């Protein structure tokens, strides 16, 4: 696992707490409960480890109840935030941006980073795709329309003067769930897939797929925010007494993950086994972890770049957008 995350976590944590200018003795409170949403994948290993190891609970104290919800997609988590059924969530940059722009008074904001990178384009073993010029006429899958990988794929097509079939082009884009992508990959009904870890490694190691590139290779400095911690800022401000310890634990859990890769794999697989009734091979988890940077740095420049890409594709509406308040605690 890449180790930049431990340094980033410490720096960002110090910056955040200094900018907040508050102390843990604050008596501001709303209710002694925090409801956390996340996904059952390796990019969300911070909340998985933080909860399964009891780090979050230890940090915020036994007077505060932690409730969790596991989601299959970012839009589901955003809807739950809008419905006030969760307070914070771990999502990709696409849902984070849409959550901010579409929330009342822009009160859904980015509180920290959680992961960088960890997505790849995997080619089916029977498909002859060796470069962007080979995408024409091919069938490509991403997990969901408008999600992080979908926007990255469509931007990649545009950069290489290609269009999806629904826009008059020759590239057929399927927006389907990761398990369905796996099934079509097995059947040979798709030529490739733009997916996050651990699915990229599963397609590669279990089904003989070829990793054409890691998405971070297409970004400046080989880094982009792939998972972010977002939350209702009103809830955060009203519950600083335990939200600051929670955020501190988020950073400390980041460092623990970097320093304990083997135990992280065990915790992650135990979680999968309890939640899904099955786990992944040690090799798949180890490879997936090595392909992602676990970091509390939200990498703001990549979020702004991602928004530009989403806007160019028509995902952010017709009236323009403004992300000036999406990072409330950055200098």
Q: Is residue 19 very low, low, confident or very high in pLDDT (cuts 50, 70, 90)? A: very low
**Secondary structure in 3-state letters for 282-299:** HHHHHHHHHCEECCCCCC
For residue 30, pLDDT beyond 60:
no
Residues 202 and 230 in one domain: no
Residues 194 and 60 in one domain: no
Q: What is the pLDDT of residues 64-76, one digit of tens each?
A: 999 999 998 888 9
Residues 102 and 169 in one domain: no
Which tops the pLDDT comparison, 23 or 87? Answer: 87
Q: What is the pLDDT of residues 98-138, one digit of tens each?
A: 999 999 999 999 999 999 999 999 999 999 999 999 999 99
Q: What is the DSSP letter of 89?
A: E
Residues 64 and 196 in one domain: no
Q: Which of 189, 182, 180 is nearest to 204 (CA)?
A: 182
Q: What is the pLDDT of residues 257-288, one digit of tens each?
A: 999 999 999 999 999 999 989 999 999 999 99
Pairing verdict, β 119-123 and 65-70: unpaired
Give backbone dihedrals phi and psi of 301, rounded to 5 degrees, phi first: -60, -35
> Which pLDDT score is estimated for 329?
76
Q: Does the residue 325 lie in any domain? A: no
Residues 111 and 260 in one domain: yes
CATH number for the domain harbouring residue 287: 3.40.190.10
For residue 28, pLDDT beyond 50:
no
For residue 197, pLDDT beyond 50:
yes
Q: Is residue 330 very low, low, confident or very high in pLDDT (cuts 50, 70, 90)? A: low
DSSP assignment of 113-150: EEEEE-EEEEE-TTS---SGGG-TT-EEEESSTTSHHH
Residues 231 and 306 in one domain: yes
Q: Does the residue 328 lie in any domain? A: no
Residues 8 and 112 in one domain: yes
Contacts of 287 (CB under 8 A, 6+ apart): 201, 205
Give backbone dihedrals phi and psi of 33, rounded to 5 degrees, phi first: -155, 140
Q: Which structure tokens are listed for 56?
A: 């979050």
**Cα–Cα distance between 265 and 285 in angstroms, integer?**
6
Residues 60 and 135 in one domain: no
Residues 294 and 243 in one domain: yes
Contact 192, 123 (CB under 8 A): yes
Residues 102 and 242 in one domain: yes
Q: Which of 188, 95, 223, 71 is nearest to 150 (CA)?
A: 95
Strand-pairing partners, residue 195, are: 120
Q: What is the pLDDT of residues 215-254, one digit of tens each?
A: 999 999 999 999 999 999 999 999 999 999 999 999 999 9
| Total number of domains in the chain | 2
Residues 233 and 89 in one domain: yes
Last residue of a domain, one of 205, 221, 237: 221
**Cα–Cα distance between 16 and 106 in angstroms, integer?**
20
> Mean of the pLDDT values across residues 156-181?
95
Which tops the pLDDT comparison, 139 or 29? Answer: 139
For 257, the domain range is 4-116+223-312
Q: Is residue 318 very low, low, confident or very high in pLDDT (cuts 50, 70, 90)? A: confident
> Mean of the pLDDT values across residues 161-185?
96
């Amino acid at each position: 696992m890449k180790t930049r995350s431990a340094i980033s976590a410490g720096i960002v944590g110090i910056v955040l707490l200094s900018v907040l200018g508050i102390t843990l003795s604050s008596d501001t409170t709303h209710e002694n409960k925090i409801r956390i949403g996340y996904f059952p994948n390796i990019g969300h290993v911070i909340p998985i480890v933080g909860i399964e190891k009891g780090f979050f609970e230890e940090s915020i104290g036994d007077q505060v109840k932690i409730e969790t919800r596991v989601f299959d997609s970012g839009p589901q988590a955003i809807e739950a935030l809008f419905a006030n059924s969760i307070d914070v969530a771990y999502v990709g940059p696409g849902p984070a941006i849409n959550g901010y722009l579409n929330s009342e008074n822009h009160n859904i904001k980015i509180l920290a980073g959680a992961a960088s990178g960890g997505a790849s384009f995997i080619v089916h073993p029977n498909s002859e795709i060796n470069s962007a010029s080979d995408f024409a006429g091919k069938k490509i899958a991403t997990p969901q329309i408008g999600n992080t990988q979908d926007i990255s794929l469509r931007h990649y097509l545009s950069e290489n003067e290609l269009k999806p079939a629904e826009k008059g082009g020759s590239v057929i884009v399927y927006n389907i769930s990761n398990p369905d992508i796996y099934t079509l990959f097995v059947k040979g009904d798709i030529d490739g897939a733009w997916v996050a870890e651990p699915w990229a490694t599963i397609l590669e190691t279990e089904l003989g797929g070829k990793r054409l590139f890691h998405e971070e290779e297409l970004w400046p400095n080989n880094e982009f925010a792939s998972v972010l911690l977002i939350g209702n800022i009103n809830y955060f401000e009203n519950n600083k007494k335990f939200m600051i310890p929670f955020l501190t634990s988020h950073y400390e859990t980041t460092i623990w993950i970097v320093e304990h890769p083997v135990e992280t794999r065990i915790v992650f697989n135990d979680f999968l086994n309890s939640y899904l009734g099955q786990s992944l091979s040690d090799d798949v988890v180890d490879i997936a972890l090595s392909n992602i940077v676990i970091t509390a740095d939200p990498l703001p420049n990549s979020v702004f770049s991602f928004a530009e890409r989403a806007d160019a594709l028509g995902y952010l509406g017709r009236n323009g957008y403004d992300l000036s308040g999406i990072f409330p605690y950055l200098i």
